[in-house]
Amino acid sequence: MHTTPPFTLFPGSRNWKSAALAAVLFLAGLSLSGQSADSLQIRKIFDESLLRGRSYDWLNHLSNQIGGRLSGSVQAKQAVEYTKKELEALGLDRVWLQPVMVPKWVRGTSEFAYIESEPGNTNNVPICALGGSVATPVGGIKAGVVEVQGIEQLQQLDREEVEGKIVFFNRPMDASLINTFQAYGGCVDQRHGGAEAAARMGAVGVIVRSMNLRLDDYPHTGSMSYGDLPESQRIPAAAISTNGAELLSTTLKLNPGIKFFFRQYCRQMADVLSYNVIGEIRGSEFPEEIMVVGGHLDSWDLGDGSHDDGAGCVQSMEVLRLLKATGYRPKRTLRVVLFMNEENGLRGGNKYAQEALNAGEKHVFALESDAGGFTPRGFSFDCTPEAFDRIVAWKPLFEPYLIHQFIRGGSGADIGPLKPQGLVLSGLRPDSQRYFDHHHAETDTFEAINRRELELGAAAMASLVYLCDRYGLPDQPGLRK
């Protein structure tokens, strides 16, 4: 087989050292040329988002015209209709709804609670029912209180110490941790599994300190589970504000004989039909390879779900608009998925993954935004070392925008079910310091959104999608192999 001599690209180079130097410079020039093209495209993406972005206006409508979008609610249905219409207006190649049955839990009349130091001497405290909890009896529950710092400490007590009482889980988020999601992960088990553990020891109710680093008067809801407990053994569970938790704990130390009263009217209803909202741009070269970007369309009902996760939804929609507006035609099929029911069931994420598997689709990359609409700091990646090495080489392209934290780690709840199919998973990582001030509380409103931060996040996501599409990613271990 004929081969070209190594330095014939440089006929004027008579000396082999000068020829080698010329070759290095030539290849470096090609590399710099590629980086320059990428830098220009990314600059166009950021300019389009910051100057003509649509994400903020979309979120304004979701938050202020529709409101909290609890799975199975009228507002969730309105959000499906609105986002489908907006995606169609972008002129995508295809927009459709993917049916999924979701749970319908209803909060009912506002909750009420007080601490009774002695008969007739009470202090009201803010609470809210945890998502999925049963109601109290119509007249409420009043009982003594046992305070614990977590499920492990509860299980070390004798049953007699717990039976007939309300268990108060009061382990706070660890303020020493810079990553506030780590702090959240360190104590959220008491919210999710505390009622089951307490019920098994004969408790009549559960009160959980809100997952919030700040001391305020806003209780934060969230999902909880009774495990395999029969309905007859399930006990009501509520979150108490951090100020309320401090007051309850202090009062209990001064007077262990105090009583706590709370009343809530929530109930679980039959599952209802809802939808994932999906839109796509068909790939120009490798249409069978699918790249997903998304967030979850449902939210809790106390606020309007602007940060969790309206922001992630509109940013994901904006990714497709930004690439179209800057004239970039993806090589691979780019799909936006607005998942339903992440907060209290993950039905949408599981349904999408199952349908993709049934259809034999080949997903190569998925990016989720579900950590708030704050200033983007970088991305986390669930992938092989080989894939991460390729991705981290793009980090200098993001550094001018101060988006430079590229780490291996988790991605997102809704795209997680895709992992067995073999693909790179990623999560947008915004600054997390203010996130849990709003998470699952009535303070999660549009007023807490900064337009520029939201738009920077959308541009960062679009830039990462652009690079993954242009250069491709190594295969991951998975079922499709």
The burial class, CB within 10 Å (0-12 / 13-18 / 19+), for 164 is exposed
Q: How far apart are CA 224 and CA 226, in angstroms?
A: 7
| Active-site entry in 48, 196, 280, 342 | 342
Cβ atoms of 311 and 374 within 8 Å: the answer is no
Tokens of 306: 């602007």
Return the amino acid letter for 167: V
Sequence-distant (6+) residues with CB within 8 A of 302 are 68, 128, 221, 440, 441, 442, 444
Cis omega (within 30 of 0) for bond into 309: yes
Strands of the sheet with 121-124, listed across from one edge: 121-124, 112-118, 259-263, 141-148, 166-169, 205-209, 237-240, 127-129
Beta bridge partners, 376, equal 430
Active site residue 342: yes
Show the DSSP H helices in 326-439 as ranges: 347-358, 385-392, 395-398, 435-438
Helix (H) or strand (E) holding 144: strand 141-148
Beta bridge partners, 332, equal 286
Beta bridge partners, 123, equal 115
Sequence-distant (6+) residues with CB within 8 A of 467 are 38, 391, 394, 397
The count of other CB atoms within 10 Å of the CB of residue 399 is 9
Distance between first and last Cα of the chain: 34
- List, by residue number, the catalytic residues: 342
